[in-house]
Amino acid sequence: MPSVTSQQPGDQRVTHEFETPTPEQIVAISAKHVAMMETSDADDTWIWVGMEHLLLHTVGRKSGNEHKVALPFWRDADGQRIVVASFGGAPTDPAWFLNLSDRAANPDVLVRVQGGLFRSQPQILDGDDYDRTWAGLVADRPWYDDYTVKAGGRRIPLVRLPDTRPA
């Protein structure tokens, strides 16, 4: 896991001092984290190694079943939550992103954060918005640039999850 640098309030910088888990390990870790997030609002559940996390609910694009995934998020310059579809640098996009990309199955998504729940109309970033957001993200969490290399140059998707309406 990353380790926290000395942080000031609002500082999102985290240093990278871990070996990235495999995609299989990421799935197992996320499943355990989801179970914890569903039963606790404690800081040690929602803030891991200096990164705030959220619980994202999507609908399977093929199955129609609800899926949940625990994800770290980063706030952009406007304070909006950004999640990164890196899957630890895997060569393919994670299932949660593929589901979220299917607007018919997921016109909006349910998001749980520490102490709250809201619906969001996800925004998949592109163009200058993507470039600006990516630059800010990797300034605080540089291992994401390493993930791009590991993923064979796959452009790692960024998704903004605005608080669209109460759940």
Closest CA to 58 of 106, 17, 122, 18: 106
Q: Are strands 74-75 and 81-84 parallel, antiparallel or unpaired?
A: antiparallel
Write out the two tokens for 35.
């179970």
Give yes or no for residue 83 having a pLDDT over 50: yes
Give yes or no for residue 31 having a pLDDT over 60: yes
Give yes or no for residue 159 having a pLDDT over 50: yes
Neighbours of 112 (CB within 10 A): 21
What residue numbers bound the domain in which 147 lies?
3-7+16-166
Which CATH number does the domain housing residue 82 bear?
2.30.110.10
Please give the model's pTM, rounded to 2 decimal places: 0.86
- Structurally, how many domains does the chain consist of? 1
Q: How confident is the model at residue 6 (pLDDT cuts 50, 70, 90)?
A: very low
User: Which residues contact residue 6 at a Cβ distance below 8 angstroms, ignoring those fewer than 6 apart?
Assistant: none
Give yes or no for residue 56 having a pLDDT over 90: yes
Mean pLDDT of all residues in 139-165: 92
